[in-house]
Every structure is written in C-alpha cells, then in structure tokens.
Amino acid sequence: MKITRIKTIVTCPDRNFVTVKVETDEGLYGIGDATLNGRELAVVAYLDEHVAPCLIGMDAGRIEDIWQYLYRGCYWRRGAVTMTAIAAIDTALWDIKAKAANMPLYQLLGGKSRDGVMVYGHANGVDIEETVDEVAKYMDLGYLAIRAQTGIPGLPTTYGVSEDKMYYEPADASLPSTALWSTSKYMHHIPQLFDRLRNTFGFDVHLLHDVHHRLTPIEAGRVGKALEPYDLFWLEDAVPAENQAAFRTVRQHTTTPLAIGEVFNSIWDCKELIEEGLIDYIRATVVHAGGVSHLKKIFDFAAMHHVRSGSHGATDLSPVCMGAALHLDTAIYNFGIQEYMRHTEKTDDVFPHSYYFSKGYLHPGDVPGHGVDIDEDIAAKYPYQRAFLPVNRLADGSMFNW
Ligand code: CS2
Ligand code: MG
C-alpha cells in the first residue's frame, strides 16, 4: 500500500488544531494530530515542506522504518516541532494499518489490558470555595479522579483557573497576555485547598494538582511534604526538568507521587527520571512525543522501573491525539491515568469519534483504526486564528516560567 498524498488541515473550532491526513493508493487513509499550541504553523511548514514530499510513494505499512527515516534521516533530531510532525505521520500510519487489519488499534498494540481508561477532570475556582463546588460537580458527573486548582489571593490570575468551567482554554489572546506570579503566596495557599477538599470529600476520590513548572527543587520538596497528609494521586510538573537530576532533591524530601512529561518529546527527556525512579508517572503523550510508536517505547521502558503512564490530554491536544492515546492506554500494562478535558461541541463536530466517557472511564470504542475522523467540510468553516499562552512575570517585572 503506497502513500499517494499527505495533507495538513488547519482548523479553529474554538481553538487551533493541525491534522495530517495520509492517503494511500488503496483508498484507505489515516489521520494524526500535529497540534503544537501557539506554534501550529511551524509544524505545518515542517510537514508540508520537509516531510510530505519525501514520503510520497513509500509503503504505508513500514511504520517503524518511516519513523526512523524522519528521525535519523533528517540529521536534526528531536525538538517539539520535529517530534510533533513525526507523531502526526506515525499516528496516521497506525490508523491506516489498523483499518487495513479491520481492527481497533489497541488490538495491534497487544490487545486489551483493561476494560476502561480512568481519567481525571479539571476542577478549578477563583477561590477555595469555588474549587470545592467544582470538585463536587465532577464527582456528580462520575469522575473518580479530579485535578484541583485555585486562585491565589493577591494574584489577579492563576494558571489552571478558567472562566469557562466546562471547556478550559489556556491560549487566550492573539498576543501573549501577562500574568503575575508569587511563589511564596502560592506555597502558603495550596495546602489550605487540599485540607479543605479532604475535610469535605474524604479520601475516596483521587485528587491531583498541577504546579505547572513553577518551583525550585527544594520548594517542590516542601510543597510535596506539606501535601502528604492529603494523599494526592500526584503532584504534576513541580519543577522544570531540563535538568533531570534536579528531581533527586524533590524525591529526597517528599513521598508525594510525582508526575511530569507534557513538554517532553522523546525518551531522552525522561531517561534519568525513569531509570533513577525519580518520578511515579510519565505524562508524555502521543502528539508531542513521537506518536504511538515512540510513546509505546517510553511506556515500556517506564514499566521496567515501576513508573506508570499519565498522558497529557488538555484541550490543545486534538480528539485525534485522545483517540490514539486511549488505544495505547488500553493496551499497556503500566497504565496510570489519562487526563481528560472536554473539547467544545464545535471541536467534536469537526472530529467525529468513537471514544466515549462512562462512570469515570473513557473507552476507545471498537471501530477499525484509532476511531477518530475529520470532517473536512466542517473544518473549512473555521480558519486559523493566532493564539498564545500567557507569559508570567514576578512583581519586580522579571520573566518567570509559565
Ligand atoms: C496543562 C495544560 O493539561 C495540563 O496539565 O499543563 O493546560 C498546558 O498548559 C497546555 O496544554 C499547554 O499547551
Ligand atoms: Mg500540566
């Protein structure tokens, strides 16, 4: 089966998505997510100019070989743009292979290891009271695991707190808006949130929290230790991890489970973290970590070191990424949890999908392939709109991590 055409489709049904469609001479096609939040058109140019022309005429069934061709063959390895482009092609090729086999993708990845994929939803409020109410809403919706974020007194806006409680959207402006950050205000406030949540809801619900790369290792150790009585499922992205060894300090000071990985592109971003047992959950995902092929390798490596999966599933990862991720989540042995932020109705119309939510779990469905398609006519109604994540500054005006 030969690759005859590779199309990149950009659409903005409430937010931007980039989708790759790989067509073959046998009429089968596959799709892959190529969305890199705030850098969408860089990936489009990479795919259109530097990937698509090279793959025309290749055998669509040679997934591993094409992956290595794009990774090794280009000389410039890794990086978010490259690995997102590779991921999109890889996901589309797995979609084609599973459709050709007339099987849901999880069958080709080893079959089902579980009956459903436990997900966590996002509860957030401007203050602790509102976050408590939001957690209650998610429990009523049947969620078994809930991430809780709250506004911090003295900071006008805070990461993770959104106006629209149903559909969280972090890329909020056509040029980056500026937020104010204070580590001391944050560190003082966050244990109060979890104290209140556990007193209200007890210990049966899983609670998670995202620091979004805001602390130093010793600060993260202190926060992790302060949160130990509240038994978090995980503390996410406590420290930026360009320097993986920094997590040794965090680990020495707290037993709160640690998760990281949404900005990782390859095994080389997390090799020491996994090998040295410095984390508990690896949160890399299909679209930004080289597709189904490479993420499966990361997860299998993690399994050897008692590290479980916890894939990123924010709204800026398209339903195509979610579909593919759910097949992997279903098949691997060391699955932990999957993030699930609902997409808007417009987005769901552009991307019809077989996956569905029931009683705290997502299910990938049983249609051949990864079960997600794109309606190109509806997609064409929503042209690209430039959008950025905010940036963060401290009170003295200096730049900080977003
Ligand atoms: C996040 C995201 O879902 C998460 O855990 O940290 O909100 C993240 O900020 C965005 O996906 C960035 O594009
Ligand atoms: Mg996060």
What is the per-residue pLDDT across 75-92, written as a single tens digit (0 to 9) for each?
999 999 999 999 999 999
Pick the range with the lowest mean pLDDT from 47-51, 172-176, 199-203, 395-399.
172-176
Same domain, residue pair 120 and 50: no
Same domain, residue pair 232 and 326: yes
Residues with active-site annotation: 159, 212
The residue from 104, 138, 163 where one domain ends is 104
The residue from 54, 84, 104 where one domain ends is 104
**Is 401 within a domain?**
no
pLDDT for residue 384 is more than 90: yes
As a whole number, mean pLDDT of residues 321-327 equals 98
Please say whether the beta carbons of 170 and 389 come within 8 A. yes
Pocket of ligand 1 (CB under 6 A): 37, 170, 210, 212, 262, 312, 314, 316, 339, 389
Same domain, residue pair 98 and 123: no
Closest CA to 233 of 254, 259, 215, 201: 259
CA–centroid distance, 391 to ligand 1, in Å, is: 13
User: Residue 8 belongs to what domain range?
Assistant: 3-104
pLDDT for residue 151 is more than 90: yes
* CB-based contacts of 73, cutoff 8 Å, min separation 6: none
Same domain, residue pair 153 and 283: yes
Cα distance between residue 95 and residue 253, in whole Å? 44
Same domain, residue pair 115 and 176: yes
Assign residue 143 the CATH number of its domain.
3.20.20.120
Q: Whose CA is nearest to atom 1 of ligand 1?
A: 314
**Is 381 within a domain?**
no
**Is 348 within a domain?**
yes
Tell me which ligand sits closest to the C-alpha of residue 122: 1
Same domain, residue pair 224 and 247: yes
Same domain, residue pair 22 and 146: no
- pLDDT (tens digit per residue) in 181-192: 999 999 999 999
**Is 21 within a domain?**
yes
pLDDT for residue 223 is more than 90: yes
Same domain, residue pair 96 and 240: no
Cα distance between residue 291 and residue 92, in whole Å? 9
Mutate to test the pocket of ligand 1, among 316, 321, 341, 343 (most ligand atoms within 8 A of CB): 316
Mutate to test the pocket of ligand 1, among 84, 208, 262 (most ligand atoms within 8 A of CB): 262
Tell me which ligand sits closest to the C-alpha of residue 316: 1
CA–centroid distance, 102 to ligand 1, in Å, is: 34
- Confidence label for 172 from pLDDT (cuts 50, 70 and 90): confident
> Which residues does residue 20 pair with via DSSP β-bridges, in sequence order?
8, 32
**Is 295 within a domain?**
yes
Q: What 8-state DSSP symbol labels residue 322?
A: H
pLDDT for residue 141 is more than 80: yes
**Is 312 within a domain?**
yes
Cα distance between residue 244 and residue 227, in whole Å? 23
Same domain, residue pair 282 and 146: yes
CA–centroid distance, 316 to ligand 1, in Å, is: 8
Q: What 8-state DSSP symbol labels residue 15?
A: S
* Burial class for 38, CB neighbours closer than 10 Å (0-12, 13-18, 19+): middle
Q: Whose CA is nearest to atom 4 of ligand 1?
A: 314
* Burial class for 366, CB neighbours closer than 10 Å (0-12, 13-18, 19+): exposed
Same domain, residue pair 269 and 121: yes
Same domain, residue pair 170 and 299: yes
Tally of structural domains, the chain: 2
Strand ranges, E, within 111-257: 117-125, 145-150, 178-180, 206-210, 234-236
- Confidence label for 230 from pLDDT (cuts 50, 70 and 90): very high
Same domain, residue pair 306 and 166: yes
